[in-house]
Amino acid sequence: MAGGSPNFGARRNGARPELVVIHYTAMSSVGAARDRLCDPAAEVSAHWLIGADGVTEPLVDEGLRAWHAGAGSWAGQPDVNSRSIGIELDNRGHEPFPEPQMHSLEVLLAQILDRWSIPPEGVIGHSDMAPDRKYDPGPKFDWCRLARQGLSIWPEPLVAIPADQARFRHLLTMIGYPDCADIPRLAAFRMRFRPCHAGPLDARDMALACDLAARFGQDGAQWRAD
């Protein structure tokens, strides 16, 4: 695949893609985003850029390390750039993602997951891996739509579980969220699974996190019986 950005390097320590990180560009146009992602002085890039019209552009070869994730971690592992493929969506962050763009994302995601044997739980948002500093792809992004096609995950909790901050913190760590303050972690979790919901930790948050922890093959099911 020919790439259009000079901002890349080799994946470190023999890492291979096991995550896909979804971003929004937060810029005025896809052209402005392309210019920045291809500017050596900016020192940022992504493997793919998808315009609002659905046009999909390769910027960095998937086998190489693009500079899209920055500081953060997932599942206890830092250097997400070496372990991931980054997809930038032309969106300023406060508007719905158009149908042509979502369709193109679904086609691309299916190809990437198949190409690299990445499971649906490996598709995350930038805010998931860096909840104390990133917001994208934001509350307007339709994660449930991706999950219906097996391109991401969505919780289906069976029962409500009393709010317990220590347990919730443990469950989010089991899911993969990095260790940071409770407030940004809860905000990132809700932005993905309960968009626009506010207020203190509640039983619904607990049930969603419990179901996801169980889906990740962890022992989150233990909380169901409490």
Q: 84-89 and 48-50 as β-strands: parallel, antiparallel, unpaired?
A: parallel
- Token readout for 80 is 């997400």
In the residue annotation, 88 being an active-site residue is answered as: yes
- Token readout for 18 is 């096991």
DSSP designation for 77: B
| CA–CA distance, 155 with 167 (Å, rounded to integer) | 17
Q: Are the CB atoms for 175 and 124 separated by under 8 Å?
A: no
| CA–CA distance, 130 with 180 (Å, rounded to integer) | 9
Q: Are the CB atoms for 54 and 100 separated by under 8 Å?
A: yes
| CA–CA distance, 172 with 126 (Å, rounded to integer) | 16
| CA–CA distance, 63 with 82 (Å, rounded to integer) | 10
Single out the catalytic residue among 18, 57, 62, 88: 88
Residue with tokens 């930790």: 201
Catalytic residue positions, numbered = 88
